[in-house]
Structure 1
Amino acid sequence: MNPIIALLKEHSVSDEKISEVFQALTQNPMMAMSIIGQLGIPAEKLQQLMAMVMQNPGLIKEAVLELGLDFSKVEAAKAQMQPQ
C-alpha cells in the first residue's frame, strides 16, 4: 500500500475522504491542502506526510494510480503550479 494512503488510513480517514483528497490534488492542490488540514491528523504526522511527498513526489502518482484516478489531471495541476 502507498505510504501516503497508509498514513491517512492509520488516522481513520475513510476511503471516500482519501479519494476526495487525491481528487482535489489532481484538480486544485491548494484546495487539497485545506481538505488535508481538516482531517484531524496531528501536526507532527502532517509534517511527516509533507516531507514524504517532498522527498518522493512519485508517491502521489502511485497513490492516484492505486485509487484508480486519472494521473493526467495531476500533471495538469502540477503545470499550473509552476511559476511562469
Structure 2
Amino acid sequence: MNPIIAILKEHDVSDAKINELFQALTQNPLMAMSIVGQLGIPAEKLQQLMALVMQNPALIKEAVVELGLDFSKVEAAKAQLQQ
C-alpha cells in the first residue's frame, strides 16, 4: 500500500474521503489542502506526511494510480498552479 494512503488509513480516514482528497488533488490542489485540514490528522503526522511527499514526490503518482484516478490531471493542475 502506498505510504500516503497508509498514513491516512492509520488515522481512520475512510476510503471515500481518501478518494475525495485525491480526486480534488487531480482537479484543484488548493481544494485538496482544504480537505486535508478537515481530516483531523494531528499536525505532527501532517508534517511527517508532507516530508514524505517532499522527499519522494512520485508517491503522489503512485497513490493516484493505486486509486484508479487519472494522473495526467495532476500534471495539468500542477502546470496551472505554476502560471
| TM-score normalised to structure 1 length | 0.96
Task: Kindly report structure 1 stretches of 4+ aligned residues shifted beyond 2 Å.
Answer: none
Identity of aligned residues (%): 87
Within a 5 Å distance, the mapping from 1:1-84 to structure 2 comes to 1-82=1-82, 84=83
CA root-mean-square deviation: 0.7
Aligned pairs, how many? Answer: 83
Q: Which moved more, 1:73-82 or 1:2-11?
A: 73-82
Q: Distance in 2 between the 1:38 and 1:50 partners? A: 16
| TM-score normalised to structure 2 length | 0.97
